[in-house]
């Protein structure tokens, strides 16, 4: 008989405590793994991996102009991801940030579109506020059906994103189309006071990046220090403990979705009142979905998310660079994002579990 | 003497700084029922994990049928002929009983179901093979675990606190089973802290204290006090005498409560009536799975009553039928649930944050933010006052042993100084020293005027604690029986549904 009975493969053993080392190492290791896999892919595609790496990961940092674009991209990702992460910690899976982002853009655009002659420094703050309310309103539909009928929030929020895109199309092809716009599906250009002030002269970086950082700080206080944030986390980690303590599940769902929608709507408003300057069909390049990756890559932790948002923005800008200079297809960036999330999800398994190689066993002859 | 079936020599195991087992020697002869006795933290669980291949010893040898044995996994232990029933269950809740068993035992579903029914009949472990595990009570789940183990025909059967959920009649039946298994050539390793049981069934006992063996003996030759002294290293504390009291105000009153759950496997309740007064302990006896879980959730407010049923539950004189769990707590209600992990405590959170779960009204918040200093001080005090064995308040609740976590949860709820305290399974899995401390504490609180409701499956416990006992069977509650005028056998008859006309009924 064989002396070895089968257990050459390591087994997963649950750790007694979450490992801090693994928590900190997971993102860089996931990045390294994803990078190696994707480089292999680029080689298979016949591209020069060194050129891709250079364009993708280094070039964004090499000039102020391109780094400012990174900051510009990081803003909305950061905002949306902070909002989503709060819900994810409560195990409320709002996948529809894309739709809430669009609604935020629509609500914010109402002011410059209906009052194109208005002036005053109150316009852009009001637009941001309206946008946030619009996003929260869109998310509230999901919350209502989830609490009322127990309709799955993943499906409802996701499908509402498609509805939001159609609503945007309707407005841009109908009532809100710029009459002098040669029939292009876009609104009028917004007046000066409807634009978020520029933060760094000579770039497109505006005050909304600061706003995103401030809200990140607020998210940190909310999740790590406030009792309401604590209740959300209890609901996510142990729903029955939340029920036992009398923390209302419905309230947690409402709060999670409203916060997520508020942040996404704010991001949408900042986008039309910022780099775009008008409402158009392509206001979002998948921010709402990329922010899901950002949230998880940041460990659903407000500080981690600041870094992951910045990193994801680098990947966007670097991906654009690589398309130009290394002739990479646009899908390659998406593949990189996807494999990064996958690698990260594998890596976080080691926060709570460790591998154990069992000693090869011998059995008594029997 | 015959050669031992299992023999341990010098077994040691450490977890970091903690030396869980030190130089353990142990011999289990064939055809014997061998007890391992010890308090929580004495190293019983570690030792058993080493024998069952869950963990590997740092040093020492394990001999099995005279040859050295090294096990890399429980699967190998099972192949070698060692079976184990854990205290914490390992069943998939979304699968049925027979599906769970089929994960370990090959065979057709119908055949397995038949074997489950046969084993259930033979050993008093009745359970519906096609019921989903999530719908089973804790007691029924343990029956499934025992059956699953028996189906692999082990040579050595390890049972970790197996009787804690069984009614007296079934304990006797299980003991019959174990004796029959022994006579059929199977040895049993029996882990328990119930000294009477060990004296009743075991022919050898090994006593552990602080990770070391403190004695090998024949339990039948020693009385309970001797065993307890060897186990805890000092004399047993005496039970607290209850002061006679009467006529306190009604703190909990349930009048004719009917409940039809949505879950088809849950137990419907009908005509439940009970009253708990200040300065009184009422016990609810019964085998688990007779509606305890459902009743507990209705009292705590975790289950909401349908609208037309909302004038059936009163707390401190108020109709609480329409109030949620948090609002009931604000009236002065506190509750220790039967499941500690995931209900009474969040496993991934520290004890400090778990204190906050229900004790947040004790000035642990400041302007909606967590007051870290006060929260840590609260957890510290709870750990100290209720003798919770843990490295510190920042330890995650999931890293504590079941008994220590129970002490923390009981402590937390008592520190809320409630008017009405409801405890489900107060001492389940808690070592005897701590269990008697908890019981003394409950009686003290009763003497100070608290109203206490206890659900327990341990009759001795209810007889020690309660002023009166009601028995829950099949969703119906017996009339209250005055404890001092009632014999355990009468309660036992109610527990299996045979009504006794002779029990003294409270007016």
Using CA coordinates, name the residue in chain B closest to A357. Answer: B72
Mean pLDDT, residues B15-32 taken together: 85
pLDDT at res. B179:
85
pLDDT at res. A97:
96
> Residue B168 pLDDT > 80, yes or no?
no
Query: What's the CA dihedral at B316, B318, B322, B326 to 10 degrees?
Result: -40
Mean pLDDT, residues B187-216 taken together: 86
Please check whether residue A241 is in contact with residue B345, taking contact to mean a CB–CB distance below 8 angstroms. yes
pLDDT at res. B501:
45
Please check whether residue B154 is in contact with residue B186, taking contact to mean a CB–CB distance below 8 angstroms. yes
Say how far apart CA B50 and CA B11 lie, in whole Å. Answer: 9
pLDDT at res. B502:
44
pLDDT at res. B139:
65
The distance of B325 to chain A (nearest Cα, Å) reads: 5
Enumerate the β-bridge partners of residue B212.
B209
Q: CB–CB of A364 and B337 under 8 A? A: no
Q: CB–CB of B343 and A244 under 8 A? A: yes
The interface residues of chain A toward chain B in range 324-363, judged by CB-CB distance below 8 A, are: 358-363
Note whether A13 contacts B: Cβ–Cβ < 8 A: no
Query: What's the CA dihedral at B418, B419, B424, B425 to 10 degrees?
Result: 80
> Residue B56 pLDDT > 50, yes or no?
yes
Q: What value of ipTM does the predicted structure carry?
A: 0.81
What number of C-beta contacts closer than 8 Å exist between A and B? 108
Using CA coordinates, name the residue in chain A closest to B413. Answer: A245
> Residue B237 pLDDT > 70, yes or no?
no
pLDDT at res. A366:
38
Which phi and psi (to 5°) does residue B76 adopt? -70, -40
pLDDT at res. B152:
81
Say how far apart CA B127 and CA B265 lie, in whole Å. Answer: 12
Mean pLDDT, residues B317-346 taken together: 92
Mean pLDDT, residues B374-388 taken together: 94
CB-based burial of residue A166 (10 Å sphere; 0-12 exposed, 13-18 middle, 19+ buried)? exposed
Q: Among A240, A248, A361, select the one facing B324 at the smallest CB separation.
A: A248
Which phi and psi (to 5°) does residue B37 adopt? -110, 140
Which of B219, B221, B225, B227 is CA-nearest to residue B237? B225
Note whether A15 contacts B: Cβ–Cβ < 8 A: no
What domains does chain B contain, in order, with CATH numbers? 6-232 (3.40.50.300), 237-332+418-507 (3.40.50.300), 341-416 (no CATH)
> Residue B504 pLDDT > 50, yes or no?
no
pLDDT at res. A361:
44
* Span B299-313, pLDDT tens digits: 999 998 887 777 899
Please check whether residue B27 is in contact with residue B6, taking contact to mean a CB–CB distance below 8 angstroms. yes
The distance of A353 to chain B (nearest Cα, Å) reads: 13
| Residue A218 CB contacts under 8 Å (≥ 6 apart), including other chains | none
The distance of B328 to chain A (nearest Cα, Å) reads: 9
Mean pLDDT of chain B: 85
What confidence tier does B138 reach under pLDDT thresholds 50, 70, 90?
Answer: low
The distance of B229 to chain A (nearest Cα, Å) reads: 32
Note whether A169 contacts B: Cβ–Cβ < 8 A: no
The distance of B75 to chain A (nearest Cα, Å) reads: 10
> Residue B234 pLDDT > 70, yes or no?
no
Mean pLDDT, residues B101-107 taken together: 86
What confidence tier does B459 reach under pLDDT thresholds 50, 70, 90?
Answer: confident
Q: CB–CB of A225 and B370 under 8 A? A: yes
pLDDT at res. B242:
55
Q: Among A221, A247, A361, select the one facing B70 at the smallest CB separation.
A: A361
Mutation target to probe the B interface, by most B beta carbons within 10 A, among A20, A241, A351, A356 is A241
Task: Tell me which chain B residues have a C-beta less than 8 angstroms from the C-beta of A365.
Answer: 67
- Inter-CA distances, B325 with A316, B278, B360, B405, Å: 48, 21, 14, 22
pLDDT at res. A4:
43
What confidence tier does B500 reach under pLDDT thresholds 50, 70, 90?
Answer: very low
Task: Tell me which chain A residues have a C-beta less than 8 angstroms from the C-beta of B422.
Answer: none
Take residue B62 and report the two structure tokens written for it.
Answer: 């394990």
Task: Tell me which chain A residues have a C-beta less than 8 angstroms from the C-beta of B360.
Answer: 227
pLDDT at res. A262:
97
pLDDT at res. A233:
95
Radius of gyration of chain B (CA): 23
Q: CB–CB of B324 and A246 under 8 A? A: yes
Task: Tell me which chain B residues have a C-beta less than 8 angstroms from the C-beta of A18.
Answer: 348, 396
Q: CB–CB of A230 and B353 under 8 A? A: yes
Q: CB–CB of B346 and A221 under 8 A? A: no
What confidence tier does B507 reach under pLDDT thresholds 50, 70, 90?
Answer: very low
Q: CB–CB of A363 and B335 under 8 A? A: no
Task: Tell me which chain A residues have a C-beta less than 8 angstroms from the C-beta of B349.
Answer: 233-234, 237
Enumerate the β-bridge partners of residue B505.
B481
Percent pLDDT > 90 in chain B is 35
pLDDT at res. B170:
65
For chain A, residues with pLDDT lower than 70 are 1-8, 16, 358-366
> Residue B354 pLDDT > 90, yes or no?
yes
* Span B483-493, pLDDT tens digits: 888 887 778 77
Mean pLDDT, residues B54-63 taken together: 89
Say how far apart CA B280 and CA B285 lie, in whole Å. Answer: 16
Q: CB–CB of B335 and A228 under 8 A? A: no
* Span B407-434, pLDDT tens digits: 999 999 999 999 999 999 888 777 777 8
> Residue B74 pLDDT > 60, yes or no?
yes
Q: CB–CB of A221 and B369 under 8 A? A: yes
Give domain limits for chain A: 69-304
What confidence tier does B1 reach under pLDDT thresholds 50, 70, 90?
Answer: low
> Residue B328 pLDDT > 70, yes or no?
yes
What confidence tier does B244 reach under pLDDT thresholds 50, 70, 90?
Answer: low
Tokens 């998880």 belong to A296
Mean pLDDT, residues B155-167 taken together: 77
Q: Among B76, B327, B344, select the one facing A361 at the smallest CB separation.
A: B76
pLDDT at res. B503:
43
Q: CB–CB of A240 and B399 under 8 A? A: no
């Amino acid at each position: 008989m064989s002396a070895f009975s089968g257990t050459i493969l390591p087994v997963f053993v649950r750790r007694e405590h979450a490992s801090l080392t693994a928590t900190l190492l997971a993102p860089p290791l996931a990045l390294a793994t994803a990078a190696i896999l994707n480089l292999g892919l680029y080689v298979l595609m016949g591209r020069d991996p060194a050129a891709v790496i250079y364009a993708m990961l280094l070039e964004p940092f090499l000039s102020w102009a391109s780094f400012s674009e990174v900051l510009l991209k990081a803003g909305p990702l950061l905002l949306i991801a902070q909002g989503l992460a709060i819900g994810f910690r409560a195990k409320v899976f709002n996948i529809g940030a894309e739709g809430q982002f669009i609604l935020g853009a629509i609500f914010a655009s109402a002011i410059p579109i209906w009052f194109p002659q208005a002036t005053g420094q109150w316009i852009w703050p009001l637009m941001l506020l309206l946008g946030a309310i619009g996003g929260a309103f869109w998310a509230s539909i999901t919350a209502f059906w989830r609490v009322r009928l127990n309709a799955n929030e993943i499906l409802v929020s996701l499908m509402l994103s498609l509805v939001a895109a159609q609503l945007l199309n309707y407005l841009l092809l109908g009532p809100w189309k710029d009459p002098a716009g040669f029939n292009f599906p876009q609104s009028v250009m917004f007046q000066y006071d409807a634009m978020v002030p520029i933060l760094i002269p000579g770039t497109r970086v505006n005050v909304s990046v600061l706003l995103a950082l401030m809200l990140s700080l607020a998210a940190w206080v909310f999740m790590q220090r406030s009792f309401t944030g604590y209740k959300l986390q209890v609901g996510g980690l142990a729903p029955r403990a939340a029920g036992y303590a009398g923390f209302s599940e419905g309230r947690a769902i409402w709060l999670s979705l409203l916060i997520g929608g508020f942040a996404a709507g704010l991001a949408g408003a900042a986008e039309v009142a910022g780099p775009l300057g008008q409402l158009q069909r392509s206001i979002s390049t998948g921010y709402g979905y990329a922010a899901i990756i950002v949230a998880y890559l940041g460990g659903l932790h407000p500080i981690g998310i600041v870094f992951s948002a910045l990193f994801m923005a680098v990947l966007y800008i670097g991906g654009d660079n690589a398309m130009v200079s290394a002739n990479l297809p646009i899908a390659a960036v998406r593949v990189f994002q996807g494999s990064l999330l996958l690698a990260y999800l594998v890596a976080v398994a080691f926060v709570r579990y460790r591998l154990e190689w069992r000693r090869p066993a011998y059995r008594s002859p029997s | 003497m015959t050669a031992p079936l299992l023999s341990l020599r010098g077994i040691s195991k450490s977890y970091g700084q903690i030396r869980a087992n030190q130089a353990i020697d142990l011999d289990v002869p064939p055809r014997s029922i061998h007890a391992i006795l010890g308090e929580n933290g004495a190293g019983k669980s570690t030792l058993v994990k080493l024998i069952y291949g869950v963990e590997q010893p740092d040093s020492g040898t394990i001999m099995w049928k005279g040859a050295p044995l090294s096990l890399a996994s429980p699967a190998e232990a099972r192949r070698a002929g060692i079976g184990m029933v854990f205290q914490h269950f390992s069943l998939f809740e979304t699968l049925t009983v027979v599906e769970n068993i089929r994960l370990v035992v090959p065979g057709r579903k119908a055949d397995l179901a038949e074997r489950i029914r046969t084993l259930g009949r033979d050993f008093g472990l009745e359970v519906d093979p096609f019921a989903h595990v999530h719908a089973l009570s804790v007691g029924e789940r343990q029956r499934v675990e025992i059956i699953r183990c028996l189906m692999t025909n082990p040579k050595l059967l390890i049972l970790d606190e197996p009787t804690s959920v069984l009614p007296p009649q079934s304990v006797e039946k299980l003991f019959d089973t174990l004796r029959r298994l022994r006579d059929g050539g199977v040895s049993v390793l029996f882990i328990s802290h119930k000294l009477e049981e060990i004296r009743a069934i075991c022919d050898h006992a090994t006593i552990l204290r602080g990770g070391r063996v403190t004695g090998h003996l024949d339990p039948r030759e020693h009385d309970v006090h001797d065993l307890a002294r060897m186990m805890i290293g000092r004399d047993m504390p005496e039970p607290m005498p209850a002061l006679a009291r009467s006529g306190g105000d009604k703190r909990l009153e349930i009048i004719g409560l009917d409940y039809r759950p949505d879950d088809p496997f849950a137990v419907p309740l009908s005509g439940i009536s009970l009253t708990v007064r200040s300065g009184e302990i009422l016990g609810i006896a019964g085998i688990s799975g007779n509606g305890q879980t459902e009743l507990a959730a209705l009292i705590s407010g975790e289950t909401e009553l349908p609208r037309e049923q909302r004038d059936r539950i009163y707390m401190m004189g108020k109709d609480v039928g329409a109030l949620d769990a948090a609002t009931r707590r604000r009236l002065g209600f506190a509750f220790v649930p039967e499941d500690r992990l995931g209900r009474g405590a969040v496993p991934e959170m520290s004890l400090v944050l778990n204190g906050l779960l229900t004790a947040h009204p004790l000035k642990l918040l400041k302007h909606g933010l967590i007051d870290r200093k006060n929260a840590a001080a609260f957890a510290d005090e709870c750990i100290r006052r209720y003798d919770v064995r843990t490295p510190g308040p920042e330890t995650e609740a999931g890293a504590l042993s079941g008994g220590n976590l129970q002490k923390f949860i009981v402590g937390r709820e008592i520190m809320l100084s409630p008017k009405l305290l409801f405890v489900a399974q107060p001492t389940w899995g808690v070592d005897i020293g701590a269990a008697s401390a908890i019981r003394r504490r409950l009686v003290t609180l009763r003497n100070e005027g608290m109203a206490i409701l206890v659900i327990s499956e341990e009759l001795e416990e209810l007889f020690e604690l309660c002023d009166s006992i009601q028995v829950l069977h099949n969703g119906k509650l017996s009339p209250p029986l005055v404890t001092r005028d009632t014999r355990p056998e009468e309660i036992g008859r109610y527990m299996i549904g045979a009504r006794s006309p002779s029990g003294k009924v409270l007016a």
